[in-house]
Amino acid sequence: MPAKPRMFKKILIANRGEIALRIIWACRELGIRTVAVHSEADAASLHVRFADEDVCIGPARARESYLNIGAVIAAAEITDAEAIHPGYGFLAESAAFAEVCKACKVTFIGPKPAVLALMGEKSKARETVARAGVPVLPGSDGPVPDEAAAAKVANEVGYPVIVKASAGGGGRGMRIASAEDELRRVFPVAREEARAAFQSPDVYIEKFLMNPRHIEFQIMGDSQGNIVHLGERECSIQRKHQKLLEESPSTALTPKLRARMAEAALAVARSVKYENAGTVEFLLQDDRFYFIEMNTRIQVEHPVTEMVTGIDLIKEQISVAAGIPLSFTQEGIEFRGHSIECRINAEDPVTFTPSPGLVVTYHPPGGPGVRVDTAVHSDCRISPYYDSMVAKLITHGNNRDEAISRMRRSLEVMVVEGIKTTIPLQLKILDDPDFQKGHFSTRFLDRYVP
Distance CA 419, CA 422 (A): 10
Residue 20: name the closest of 389, 420, 339 by CA.
389
Active site residue 297: yes
275, 223 contact by CB (below 8 A): yes
Residue 107: name the closest of 14, 38, 26, 29 by CA.
14
Distance CA 155, CA 161 (A): 9
Distance CA 58, CA 64 (A): 6
Break the chain down into helix, strand, coil percent, rounded to 5: 35, 25, 40
Task: Report the SS3 class of residue 40.
Answer: helix
Maximum alpha-carbon separation in the chain: 64
Q: Which among 22, 239, 297, 371 is annotated as catalytic?
A: 297
**CB neighbours of residue 103 within 10 Å:** 10
369, 403 contact by CB (below 8 A): yes
Task: Report the SS3 class of residue 275.
Answer: coil
Element (H, E) at 149: helix 147-157
So which residues are the catalytic ones? 297
